Amino acid sequence: MRRHLPRALRLIAVVTMLAGFASQARAQQRVGVRAGVSAQPDQFYLGVRVETSPIVDRLRFRPNVEIGLGDDVTLAAFNVEFAYPIPLQNSPWSLYVGGGPALNITDVHTDPQGSGDTRAGGGFNILVGLVHGRRFFTELKVGALDSAELKFGVGVTF
C-alpha cells in the first residue's frame, strides 16, 4: 500500500484542483445522487456527483464519488468525468456520452475480522446515458484498468 499511496495522493490533489477550477469558472453547479450495480467486482454502489454549467458548447464537468460494497470488496471510486449531452428531437430526453480518469481505492476483505489488502490504482471510464430534462438519469459505464468493468446506475440531479 505504501508504494501506491504517493501516486494516489497526487491524483487526489489533481482531482481537487480540477474541481476547484471548474467551480470558479462556473458559479452554477448542481448536485446529484446515484445508485446502481457493477460487475467485476460484483457490487451495489452509491454515489454523489457535481455537475457544472457547460464548459464549452454543451460539455459539462461531472466529478463524482462512488462507494461500492459486495463481493468481499469495498471500492471507493473518485471519478473525473466529462459528459456531452445530445438532445433527442421532440423528446424531453437527451442522450449523453463521456468519460474520464478515476482513482480507485480497493479494500479486499481477506479474513473474518475485516482486515485485508488495500490498494489504490488508476482507471478510466467511458459512459453513455439518458437524462430526462436535466434531472433523472440512467447511465452505463465501461471501465478499464482498475475501474469496475461495467456499471449500471440510476440517479437524480437537484
- Tens of pLDDT, residue by residue over 121-146, are 999 999 999 999 889 999 999 999 99
Report the pLDDT value the prediction gives residue 10, as an integer from 0 to 100. Answer: 59
Q: Which H helix or E strand runs over 96?
A: strand 93-109
pLDDT per residue as tens digits for the range 77-127: 999 999 999 999 999 999 999 999 999 999 887 766 656 788 999 999 999
Query: How many domains are there within the chain?
Result: 1
Report the pLDDT value the prediction gives residue 3, as an integer from 0 to 100. Answer: 47
The CATH number of residue 17's host domain is 2.40.160.20
Report the pLDDT value the prediction gives residue 117, as an integer from 0 to 100. Answer: 84
Report the pLDDT value the prediction gives residue 7, as an integer from 0 to 100. Answer: 56
Cis check: omega of the bond before 6, within 30 degrees of 0: no
List Cβ<8 Å contacts ≥24 apart for 30-34. Answer: 30/134, 30/157, 30/158, 31/157, 31/158, 32/137, 32/155, 32/156, 32/157, 32/158, 33/155, 33/156, 34/64, 34/66, 34/137, 34/139, 34/153, 34/154, 34/155
Which three cell numbers mark 82?
466529462
Report the pLDDT value the prediction gives residue 1, as an integer from 0 to 100. Answer: 45
The residue range of the domain holding 138 is 5-157
pTM equals 0.77
Report the pLDDT value the prediction gives residue 28, as an integer from 0 to 100. Answer: 75
Residue 4 vs residue 12, higher pLDDT: 12
Residue 82 vs residue 24, higher pLDDT: 82
Confidence of residue 8 (pLDDT cuts 50, 70, 90): low
Mean pLDDT of 54-65: 94
